[in-house]
Structure 1
């Protein structure tokens, strides 16, 4: 706050600046698979989103590979 005036935040502008920098990646699985995955993530004290982000990061830095239908850590 400067000079006693608090400027209101322009949430629309902030949203517009971020929306072009992020993308949603989806996957379609059976309902039971989705429920089992979510449950296992929470049991391991993480979220499905955090887990998938970590997998993507590991794949991009080549510490995770996908060969013959299997994931492998290097």
Structure 2
């Protein structure tokens, strides 16, 4: 039986959500460049930040990020 790619896509889509932010183009380009220089991707970096924030090892206070 052939794979139903549309059904697989819909199943994955139900389990994930895209979060976005609007930032100036220059900042976005600098961020991408720095991520790639550090051998990671912007997506991987942001996922790590979100995970750290959710487990309380990263705190956002007074407009700054602090590591506990």
Q: Computing the radius of gyration over CA atoms, which structure comes out larger, 1 or 2?
A: 1
Whichever structure has more helix as a proportion of its residues is 2
**Between Structure 1 and Structure 2, how many residues are aligned?**
68
After the TM superposition, which segments of 4 or more aligned residues of structure 1 sit over 6 Å from their partners?
Answer: none
2 CA distance for matches of 1:11 and 1:45?
31
User: Which residue of the partner structure matches residue 11 of structure 1?
Assistant: 5
Q: TM-score, normalised by structure 1?
A: 0.89
Q: TM-score, normalised by structure 2?
A: 0.96
- The root-mean-square deviation of aligned C-alpha atoms, in Å, is 0.6
> Residue 14 of structure 1: CA displacement?
0.6
1 CA distance for matches of 2:49 and 2:64?
13
> Residue 16 of structure 1: CA displacement?
1.2
1 CA distance for matches of 2:61 and 2:44?
23
1 CA distance for matches of 2:10 and 2:24?
33
Q: Structure 1, unaligned stretches of length 5 or more? A: 1-6
1:51 partnered with 2:45: yes
